[in-house]
C-alpha cells in the first residue's frame, strides 16, 4: 500500500454566524488520499463537503474556525496545512502541490481575459521553462489533455459553454503539475457524456501517480472512477472503504439509501431532508431522519479494510 | 488503513489552553507564522485575504442622524441668534479695527473693513442656509412635478422630459447657473432660479422611476380595476411612496445648494456685498489672504464645510433609516 | 468562426458610436435653445452688448435703426434661427470682453484649459487608483479607514476653499509656488514657468476629483477581491501582484472608465473655480469674465462647448467600456 499523500486527521470546520452561533460544516473527519488513487467523497448537497476543498487550500472565509490536522506528504516535505503560514500556502502549496477544480467553474475564470491568457499565465508561473512559443505549445498540449480544442481557448469565459469552462478550470488546476487534485463538484451541470469524460480524466490523472480527491453528490459518477469511497452526512463520515465493495454491499443505511435513489437502484428517494448544520444536536443526525437502531455520535469503526458508523 | 481509525481516538493536539479568546483575531499569530488555538483546539481559519476586520468605531444610521442633527441645530442657532444679539449692521465700517487677528473679544477676528467676523460669518451662514433651503425645496417641488408628469403620462411627454433631463445634466451645473445669474444680474430671484433650474433633474428622474415602478405593481392595477377612484389610488398608494423620497431628496439637495450658492457668490456673481453670504466672505478672503489675514479664510470656510457635511450626513443617515431600498442613491 | 464574431463586435461598436453621435444632436440643439431663451427673456439689452461703450452715447434714433437691422424686434424664434445659422456657418460672433472673435478667444485659451484639466485628471486618476487599490487590499485596517475618512472629508470641502488654502499655505506661507498666473509678470512662456505655475492649480483641481474616484475604486476593488475568480487565481498559487493587477483590477477598473466619463461636468465646474482663483488663462476663467460683463456671444459659445465636451466624454467612456469588456452589449 502506498503512503497517503493527503491525510485529513480528525478535521472539524465550523463557521461563526452573527450572534455567536456556529454552522458545523465538518465534524471529526479522518481519511487518506493516496498517490495513484481516486477517493470519492459523496454526500447530498448541504452536507458540508464543499467546505472541505476550501479548508485544504486555506481558502476558508474569515468567520471559519478549524480543528484537527491536514497533512500534505510528499518526497519534499510533510506539511500541516491548517497551521502553515499564508506565505507558504501561496508560494509552495496552492497550484503547485495541490490543484483545485472549483465548484461553479464559470465564475472562477476572470471574465475580461481569454481562457488562453489565463492558462498561459498559470503555466508561466508554475515553472514552465522557455518563452512564449514554448508556453503556447504547452497550453495546446494541456488543452488536448483535458479534451479541449486549443482554438476554443481564444474565447472569453462568457463565450464558452459549461462543459468547456469545466475543462478550462481542470486544465488550470493541472498547470502546476500538482501531486493532489481536489475536485469540488466538477460534474455539476454537465450532461452524462461530459460527466463520464471528466471522471475518466481523473482516472487518467491518478494513473500518472497523483492523488485525486473527488468531492461530489453524484454517486454514479463516483462509482465509475473511485478507488475508495467516503460517504458523508451532516458533516460526518458514515462509511469508508474500497469503492467496489461499498457499492456492492453497503453497510450503512444511508449508503443503501443513496444507492436506492439512483436509476439503477429503482429511483426511490430518501425520505425527509438533510438537517441544517447550525446547532446540530448531538447524536446521529441520520437516524433522526430515518428511524434506525443507533445511539450516540456516529463514529467510524473498522472492520477489515472498511469502516462504518452506527454499528 | 487502521492507523487512521486509531488517530481519530487521539485527542487533537494544537496548543491547547492558549490565552486567546475565540473572537481574538489571529493577527499576531499570523505575523509570527504561528497559529493560536483556543482551549477546544479551534483555530481561526481566516487568512489575511479573508479575515474579517471589524471597525469598532462605527455609528449606526440612528447615531449618525443624531450627531448630524445636533450639529445642524447648533449652526442654525449660531446663525440666527448671534447677529440679533450683536445688533449687526453690514454697512458699519470701522477702519481702525481693520484686519484684527482672532482674540477673546472677537474669536474669528475682523475683516478689512473692521467688521467682527464671528458676527458676519453668522449672518453669512444665515443667508446661505436661507437661499439654499429655498432652492432645495423649490427644485424638489419642480422635480416631483416633472417626474410625476413624465412617469404618469408616459409616451411623448416622458420622452421630451427625459431628453430635457439629459440636456440639463450635459451642461455643467455651475456653468448653467453662471449663465442664468449673468443674464439676470444682481437679484436674489436670479440666484434662486439658477440653483433651482440646475438641481431638479435628478429628483425628476428619481420620482419618475418610482412612479413607473408603482404603476407596474399589481395592487395599483387591482385597485383601479376594482373600481377605486383615481384620487383614492393617488392618496392611498402614490403619496405615501413619493413623499418620503421627496423629503430625502430635498435633504440631500440642500448641501449642494449651499455649495452652489457660495460658489456663485465667490465668483462675484452672487448677492450684493451688503448682504454677504459665506461665499461672499470667501471672495473677500482672496484679497485679505494676500495681506496675511488667514482667519478671514479659515472661519467662514469652517462654517461652510461644517454646514454642508452635517446636512449631508443627516440626509444620508435619514435615507438609510427611512428608505432601505436605497433607490435615492442615484441622487447627487 | 470566432474572428468573425470579433469583427461583428467592432462593427457593432461603430454603430453604437454613430447612434450616440446622432442622439447628441437634439441635446446640443436643446442646450442652444435653453441658452438663447434665457438670454432673450433677460432684462439685459442685447443692443448694449452690441454697441458696448457706444450704447450710452448713441441716440435713440440710431438705436431704433440698429434694432431694425439687427432684427432685435423679431420674435425670439426668428432671432434664434438667425443665430443658429451664423453659428453653423462657423461664425461664433465677437467677444466684447476680449475685443476679438470668439473663435480666437477659444483658440488662445482652450489649450491651457485642456493642459490644466488633463494634468489634473491624470493626477487624480493615478492617486485614486493607487490609494483606492491599496485601501481595498487593506480593507478594514487602520490605513483604509484613514484614507476613506479623509476622502469623505475632502469631498465636502469646496474646491475654491481648497484653492485658497493651498495659496495660503504653499504660495504665501512656504513660498514654494507662485500665487497665480501662467508666468511671472512679463516673463516668457517657458516650460519651467508653466510647470511651476501649474503645480498648485493642477493639484487643487486633482484634489477636488480624487475623493469621489477613490471611493469608487475602493468599493469596486473590494467587491472584485471577494469574487470567485480572485479565489480561483489564489487557488492556482499565482503571486500576489499578479492576482491583484491581472485579475482583480481589470474587472474593478471597468466601471471606473465610465465613472471618469460621468465625472466630466464636475471637472468643468472645478476648472471654472480653480482657473478663477489662480487667474489661469483658460476658457473656464473666461466664463467668469464673460458672465461678469454679460458677454453673451462668448458665454453661449462656452456653454455649447462644455455641453459637447461632456457628451463626447461620456461617449468616449462608453466606447472604451465596450472595447475593454467583451461582455458589454452595444445596443444600449
Say yes or no: A83 contacts chain B, CB-CB below 8 A. Answer: yes
Say yes or no: B185 contacts chain A, CB-CB below 8 A. Answer: no
Tell which wins on pLDDT, A13 or B39. A13
pLDDT at position B139 is 92
Name the CATH code of domain A4-97+178-308 (choices 3.40.350.10, 3.40.50.300, 3.40.190.10, 2.30.110.10): 3.40.50.300
Give the residue among C139, C231, A227 at the shortest CA–CA distance from B54.
C139
pLDDT in tens, A27-65: 888 888 888 899 999 887 767 777 888 888 888 887 888
The residue-averaged pLDDT of C159-168 equals: 85
* pLDDT exceeds 50 at position B326: no
Classify domain B61-88+112-321 at the CATH superfamily level: MetI-like (1.10.3720.10)
Mean per-residue pLDDT over chain A, rounded: 81
Helix extents (H) in chain B: 2-9, 27-32, 61-86, 117-153, 155-170, 173-183, 188-215, 218-225, 230-233, 239-266, 278-290, 295-322
pLDDT in tens, C113-125: 888 888 999 999 9
Say yes or no: C237 contacts chain B, CB-CB below 8 A. Answer: no
Task: Please state, in angstroms and as integers, the Cα–Cα distance from residue A64 to each residue in B31, B44, B72, B228, following that order.
Answer: 19, 6, 43, 55
Alpha carbon distance A94, A75 (integer Å): 17
* pLDDT exceeds 50 at position A170: yes
Q: Where are the domains of chain B?
A: 61-88+112-321
Say yes or no: A59 contacts chain B, CB-CB below 8 A. Answer: yes
C42·B263 Cβ contact <8 A: no
Closest residue on chain C to A169 (Cα): C232
* pLDDT exceeds 80 at position C48: no
Alpha carbon distance C212, C204 (integer Å): 14
Q: Which of B8, B40, B47 sits opposite A58 (nearest CB)?
A: B47
Beta bridge partners of A40: A214, A229
* Chain Cα centroid distance, residue C297: 21
User: Looking at this predicted complex, what is its ipTM?
Assistant: 0.83
pLDDT at position B138 is 92
The residue-averaged pLDDT of A115-141 equals: 80
Phi/psi of residue A242, each to 5°?
-60, 135
* pLDDT exceeds 70 at position A307: yes
CB-CB neighbors (< 8 A) of C237 in chain A:
90-91, 93-96, 125-126, 176
* pLDDT exceeds 80 at position A125: yes
pLDDT at position A128 is 64
Among residues of chain B, what percentage have pLDDT more than 90?
2
Q: Which of C239, C250, C254 sits opposite A113 (nearest CB)?
A: C250
The residue-averaged pLDDT of C96-106 equals: 84
Q: Are A17 and A279 contacting, i.e. CB atoms less than 8 angstroms apart?
A: no
* pLDDT exceeds 50 at position B26: no
Residue to test with chain B: of C159, C161, C170, C228, most B Cβ within 10 A: C161
pLDDT at position B150 is 83
Beta bridge partners of A184: A215
Q: Where are the domains of chain A?
A: 4-97+178-308, 107-174
C238·A173 Cβ contact <8 A: no
Say yes or no: A117 contacts chain B, CB-CB below 8 A. Answer: no
Say yes or no: A124 contacts chain C, CB-CB below 8 A. Answer: no
Say yes or no: A109 contacts chain C, CB-CB below 8 A. Answer: yes
Residue B31's pLDDT band (cuts 50, 70, 90):
very low
Cβ-count burial C68-105 (b if 16+ within 10 Å, e if not): eeeebeeeeeebbeebeeebeeeebbbbbbbeebbeeb
pLDDT at position A86 is 81
pLDDT at position B48 is 65
Alpha carbon distance A97, A111 (integer Å): 26
C140·B53 Cβ contact <8 A: yes
pLDDT at position C120 is 92
The residue-averaged pLDDT of A152-158 equals: 83
* pLDDT exceeds 60 at position B19: no
pLDDT in tens, C285-296: 888 888 888 788
Amino acid at each position: 500500500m502506498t503512503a497517503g499523500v493527503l491525510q485529513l486527521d480528525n478535521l472539524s470546520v465550523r463557521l461563526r454566524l452573527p450572534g455567536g452561533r456556529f454552522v458545523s460544516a465538518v465534524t471529526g473527519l479522518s481519511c487518506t488520499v493516496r498517490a495513484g488513487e481516486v477517493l470519492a467523497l459523496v454526500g447530498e448537497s448541504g452536507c458540508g463537503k464543499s467546505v472541505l476543498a476550501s479548508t485544504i487550500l486555506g481558502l476558508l472565509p474569515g468567520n471559519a474556525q478549524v480543528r484537527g490536522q491536514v497533512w500534505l506528504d510528499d518526497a519534499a516535505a510533510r506539511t500541516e496545512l491548517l497551521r502553515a503560514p499564508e506565505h507558504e500556502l501561496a508560494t509552495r502549496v496552492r497550484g503547485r502541490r495541490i490543484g483545485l477544480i472549483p465548484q461553479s467553474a464559470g465564475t472562477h475564470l476572470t471574465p475580461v481575459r481569454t481562457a488562453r491568457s489565463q492558462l498561459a499565465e498559470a503555466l508561466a508561473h508554475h515553472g514552465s521553462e522557455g518563452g512564449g512559443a514554448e508556453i503556447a505549445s504547452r497550453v495546446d498540449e494541456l488543452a488536448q489533455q483535458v479534451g479541449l480544442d486549443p482554438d476554443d481557448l481564444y474565447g472569453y469565459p462568457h463565450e464558452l459553454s459549461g462543459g468547456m469552462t469545466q475543462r478550462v478550470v481542470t486544465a488550470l488546476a493541472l498547470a502546476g503539475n500538482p501531486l493532489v487534485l481536489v475536485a469540488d463538484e466538477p460534474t455539476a451541470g454537465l450532461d452524462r457524456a461530459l460527466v463520464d469524460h471528466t471522471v475518466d480524466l481523473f482516472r487518467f490523472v491518478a494513473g500518472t501517480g497523483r492523488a485525486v480527491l473527488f468531492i461530489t453528490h453524484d454517486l454514479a459518477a463516483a462509482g465509475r472512477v473511485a478507488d475508495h469511497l467516503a460517504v458523508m452526512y451532516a458533516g460526518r463520515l458514515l462509511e469508508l472503504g474500497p469503492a467496489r465493495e461499498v457499492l456492492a454491499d453497503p453497510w450503512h443505511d444511508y449508503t443503501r439509501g443513496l444507492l436506492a435513489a439512483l436509476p439503477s437502484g429503482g429511483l426511490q428517494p430518501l425520505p425527509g431532508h438533510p438537517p441544517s448544520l447550525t446547532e446540530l444536536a448531538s447524536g446521529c443526525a441520520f437516524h433522526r431522519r430515518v428511524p434506525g437502531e443507533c445511539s450516540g455520535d456516529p463514529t467510524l469503526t473498522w472492520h477489515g479494510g472498511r469502516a462504518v458508523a452506527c454499528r | 488503513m487502521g492507523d487512521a481509525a486509531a488517530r481519530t481516538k487521539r485527542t487533537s493536539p494544537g496548543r491547547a489552553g492558549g490565552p486567546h479568546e475565540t473572537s481574538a483575531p489571529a493577527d499576531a499569530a499570523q505575523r509570527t507564522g504561528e497559529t493560536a488555538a483556543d482551549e477546544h483546539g479551534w483555530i481561526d481559519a481566516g487568512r489575511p485575504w479573508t479575515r474579517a476586520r471589524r471597525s469598532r468605531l462605527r455609528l449606526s444610521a440612528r447615531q449618525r442622524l443624531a450627531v448630524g442633527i445636533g450639529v445642524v441645530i447648533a449652526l442654525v442657532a449660531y446663525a440666527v441668534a448671534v447677529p440679533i444679539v450683536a445688533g449687526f449692521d453690514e454697512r458699519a465700517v470701522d477702519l481702525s479695527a481693520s484686519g484684527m487677528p482672532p482674540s477673546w473679544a472677537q474669536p474669528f477676528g475682523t475683516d478689512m473693513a473692521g467688521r467682527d467676523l464671528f458676527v458676519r460669518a453668522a449672518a453669512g451662514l444665515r443667508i446661505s442656509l436661507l437661499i439654499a433651503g429655498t432652492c432645495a425645496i423649490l427644485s424638489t417641488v419642480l422635480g416631483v412635478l416633472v417626474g410625476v408628469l413624465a412617469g404618469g403620462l408616459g409616451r411623448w411627454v416622458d420622452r421630451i422630459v427625459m431628453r430635457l433631463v439629459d440636456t440639463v445634466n450635459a451642461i455643467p451645473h455651475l456653468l448653467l447657473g453662471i449663465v442664468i445669474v449673468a443674464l439676470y444680474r444682481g437679484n436674489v430671484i436670479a440666484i434662486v432660479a439658477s440653483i433651482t433650474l440646475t438641481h431638479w433633474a435628478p429628483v425628476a428622474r428619481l420620482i419618475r422611476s418610482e412612479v413607473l415602478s408603482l404603476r407596474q405593481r399589481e395592487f395599483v392595477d387591482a385597485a383601479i380595476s376594482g373600481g377605486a377612484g383615481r384620487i383614492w389610488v393617488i392618496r392611498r398608494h402614490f403619496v405615501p411612496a413619493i413623499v418620503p423620497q421627496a423629503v430625502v431628496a430635498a435633504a440631500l439637495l440642500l448641501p449642494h445648494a449651499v455649495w452652489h450658492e457660495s460658489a456663485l457668490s465667490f465668483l462675484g456673481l452672487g448677492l450684493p456685498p451688503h448682504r454677504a453670504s459665506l461665499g461672499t466672505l470667501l471672495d473677500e478672503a482672496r484679497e485679505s489672504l494676500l495681506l496675511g489675514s488667514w482667519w478671514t479664510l479659515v472661519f467662514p470656510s469652517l462654517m461652510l464645510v461644517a454646514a454642508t457635511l452635517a446636512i449631508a450626513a443627516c440626509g444620508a443617515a435619514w435615507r438609510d433609516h427611512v428608505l432601505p431600498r436605497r433607490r435615492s442613491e442615484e441622487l447627487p | 468562426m470566432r474572428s468573425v464574431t470579433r469583427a461583428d463586435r467592432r462593427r457593432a461598436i461603430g454603430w453604437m458610436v454613430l447612434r450616440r453621435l446622432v442622439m447628441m444632436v437634439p441635446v446640443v440643439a436643446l442646450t442652444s435653445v435653453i441658452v438663447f431663451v434665457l438670454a432673450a427673456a433677460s432684462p439685459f439689452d442685447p443692443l448694449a452688448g452690441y454697441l458696448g461703450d457706444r450704447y450710452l452715447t448713441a441716440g435713440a434714433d440710431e438705436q431704433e435703426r440698429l434694432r431694425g437691422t439687427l432684427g432685435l424686434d423679431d420674435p425670439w424664434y426668428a432671432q434664434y434661427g438667425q443665430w443658429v445659422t451664423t453659428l453653423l456657418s462657423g461664425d461664433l460672433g465677437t467677444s466684447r470682453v476680449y475685443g476679438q472673435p470668439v473663435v480666437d478667444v477659444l483658440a488662445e485659451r482652450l489649450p491651457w484649459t485642456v493642459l490644466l484639466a488633463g494634468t489634473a485628471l491624470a493626477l487624480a486618476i493615478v492617486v485614486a487608483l493607487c490609494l483606492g487599490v491599496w485601501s481595498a487590499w487593506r480593507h478594514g485596517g487602520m490605513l483604509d479607514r484613514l484614507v476613506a475618512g479623509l476622502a469623505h472629508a475632502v469631498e465636502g470641502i469646496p474646491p475654491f476653499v481648497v484653492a485658497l488654502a493651498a495659496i495660503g499655505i504653499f504660495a504665501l506661507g512656504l513660498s514654494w509656488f507662485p500665487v497665480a498666473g501662467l508666468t511671472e509678470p512679463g516673463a516668457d512662456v517657458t516650460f519651467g514657468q508653466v510647470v511651476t505655475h501649474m503645480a498648485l492649480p493642477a493639484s487643487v483641481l486633482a484634489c477636488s476629483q480624487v475623493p469621489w474616484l477613490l471611493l469608487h475604486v475602493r468599493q469596486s476593488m473590494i467587491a472584485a477581491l471577494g469574487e470567485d475568480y480572485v479565489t480561483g487565481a489564489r487557488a492556482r498559487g499565482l503571486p500576489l501582484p499578479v492576482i491583484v493587477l491581472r485579475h482583480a483590477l481589470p474587472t474593478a477598473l471597468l466601471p471606473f472608465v465610465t465613472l471618469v466619463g460621468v465625472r466630466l461636468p464636475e471637472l468643468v465646474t472645478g476648472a471654472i473655480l480653480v482657473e478663477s482663483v489662480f487667474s489661469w488663462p483658460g476658457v473656464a476663467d473666461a466664463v467668469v469674465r464673460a458672465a461678469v460683463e454679460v458677454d453673451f456671444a462668448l458665454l453661449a459659445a462656452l456653454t455649447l462647448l462644455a455641453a459637447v465636451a461632456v457628451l463626447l466624454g461620456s461617449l468616449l467612456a462608453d466606447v472604451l467600456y465596450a472595447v475593454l469588456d467583451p461582455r458589454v452589449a452595444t445596443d444600449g
